[in-house]
Amino acid sequence: MPREEQEATTTASRRAQPRPWRRVVRWLVDAGLHPRASATTVRVAEDLARRMDYIEGRAIYDLAGTAARLGLSEPTVKRHVRILRELGALVWLEHGSRRNLHLPGQKYTATATVYGAAVPLCFDEAMGHRLEGAGYSDRRVVGVTGAGRERSVAEAQRAADACRPAHDPPSPGGYRGVGKAGVSGGVKDPPRAACPTASSPKKTTSRRRTGRSTGRPAWQVARDIAIARQVRPRVAWTQREGLRRLAYSLRPLIDAGLNAEAIAVELHSWWLDWRPQQPAGFITAELRRRDARAAVAGPVCPTGPTEEFLEAGVAADDDGQEPGIGEGRVRLEDLPREAVVALRSAALEDPDLVVTAVEELGLRDARRLYTSTLVDRALRLRFRLSGHARLNL
């Protein structure tokens, strides 16, 4: 391009950012559009790109600094900057001057030359870009022609082929090692398959994985996961846990015959006001603690009445004064499991129901009906609200 078209106000090139501008410069040099363009031209352009503004592509000339960083002479840097301007890849934004500006407090002050990255029209035509607007700042790419699209696809295919390994893929049959011939005529380092005592690492790993099996049938595991899928949306603090881990932790409750609704009621009855980091681990540990307490304190009915619990509850009367469940007022064994689940679900929303049951049935029967956890929480809540309330227990 002639000198008068190397200004930002007169050039036909458009503005570019540093990253795509590097590719433009390499293409212009490789295309041989300038007889004196070379790899040094690309090095000078790389130094300018590293110092450019990322949005507008502005860079200060810095002749002496560029020559020092690249190990070139100043005339060489000047020559290749001129080549970039003549290629249409660099335009003047501001012309520097060595004249003294006579700034107060400074003996000598000059102005620096500022260049701008540009993309010439020949590059856009070769790439099949459709342009809109006019001028260095207003012209922009708005689409790609059919030929440009085919060129982009071909370049992407070549880049993908270059990334593929050059060697052939291994055969699916595997590699059978061949031993080296020894001095005595035998075979040194025989293949692993020929050694009866050698074992494959894969076989060892598979045996270890098989040994970890719990023996639970596949249909039962699928049923556990289906129940866990129904429990997880009902209990907020379990929703961060995976289905398989949650199903594994709920196995004691599932094996006890509880459905998803009853399990959700049991978990809600723990009254957690915090979220465990590992819900499945917390459930497993809590169930073990409850089993340990039950073994020490006697039979406990955390989820629903059973025949063994009722027999032990009627026989073990603490004070011997209040009538039991089977002694005339109510028979818990006559209540269906759905009714017990509904009562406990309602108690989660209204603790006063538990307090009323304690006052009407007594503490022992209320614990057997609503579980000790629900009764203790409801009583603590009632004492905390009233401050001095006294229940007729």
119 within domain boundaries: yes
144 within domain boundaries: no
Token pair belonging to 235: 């209990």
152 within domain boundaries: no
Pick the range with the lowest mean pLDDT from 41-45, 54-58, 308-312. Answer: 308-312
CB 9 within 8 A of CB 136: yes
Considering the domain architecture, whether residues 220 and 314 belong to the same structural domain is answered as: no
The per-residue pLDDT for 370 is 81
**Structure confidence at residue 345 as a pLDDT band (50, 70, 90):** confident
Considering the domain architecture, whether residues 315 and 391 belong to the same structural domain is answered as: yes
- The backbone torsions φ and ψ at residue 135, rounded to the nearest 5 degrees and listed phi first, read 95, 165
Which CATH number covers residue 119?
1.10.10
55 within domain boundaries: yes
Q: What is the CB neighbour count within 10 angstroms for residue 237?
A: 17
293, 299, 304, 239: which is closest to 265 by C-alpha? 304
100 within domain boundaries: yes
* Final residue in a domain of this structure, among 127, 159, 175: 127
Dihedral angle sign, alpha carbons of residues 148, 25, 8, 122: negative
Considering the domain architecture, whether residues 8 and 123 belong to the same structural domain is answered as: yes
* Final residue in a domain of this structure, among 127, 147, 167: 127
The per-residue pLDDT for 41 is 95
Pick the range with the lowest mean pLDDT from 71-75, 129-133, 311-315. Answer: 311-315
What proportion of the chain, given as a percentage, has pLDDT over 70?
69
Average pLDDT over residues 260-281: 85
**Structure confidence at residue 206 as a pLDDT band (50, 70, 90):** very low
Mean pLDDT of the chain: 75
Pick the range with the lowest mean pLDDT from 61-70, 88-97, 296-305. Answer: 296-305
152-171 confidence digits (pLDDT tens):
778 777 777 776 665 555 55
Provide the domain limits for residue 319: 305-393
CB 385 within 8 A of CB 355: no
Average pLDDT over residues 282-298: 78
Considering the domain architecture, whether residues 277 and 367 belong to the same structural domain is answered as: no
Considering the domain architecture, whether residues 309 and 372 belong to the same structural domain is answered as: yes
> Checking DSSP bridges between strand 180-181 and strand 187-188, what pairing results, if any?
antiparallel
Considering the domain architecture, whether residues 248 and 276 belong to the same structural domain is answered as: yes
Considering the domain architecture, whether residues 119 and 43 belong to the same structural domain is answered as: yes
pLDDT for residue 207 is more than 70: no
Considering the domain architecture, whether residues 247 and 340 belong to the same structural domain is answered as: no
167 within domain boundaries: no
133 within domain boundaries: no
Distance CA 54, CA 48 (A): 12
The total of structural domains in the chain comes to 3
**Structure confidence at residue 388 as a pLDDT band (50, 70, 90):** very low
Dihedral angle sign, alpha carbons of residues 265, 266, 267, 273: positive
Considering the domain architecture, whether residues 251 and 288 belong to the same structural domain is answered as: yes
Average pLDDT over residues 134-144: 87
Considering the domain architecture, whether residues 288 and 379 belong to the same structural domain is answered as: no
Helix, coil or strand: residue 176: coil
Local structure of residue 189 (DSSP, 8 states):
S
The per-residue pLDDT for 73 is 95
Angle at 359 between CA 355 and CA 361, to 5 degrees: 105
CB 7 within 8 A of CB 23: no
Burial class (CB in 10 A: 0-12, 13-18, 19+), 330: middle
CB 316 within 8 A of CB 364: no
**Structure confidence at residue 268 as a pLDDT band (50, 70, 90):** confident
| CA distance readout (Å), 99 to 61, 108, 112, 178 | 17, 8, 11, 81
Considering the domain architecture, whether residues 106 and 25 belong to the same structural domain is answered as: yes
* Final residue in a domain of this structure, among 93, 127, 161: 127
202 within domain boundaries: no
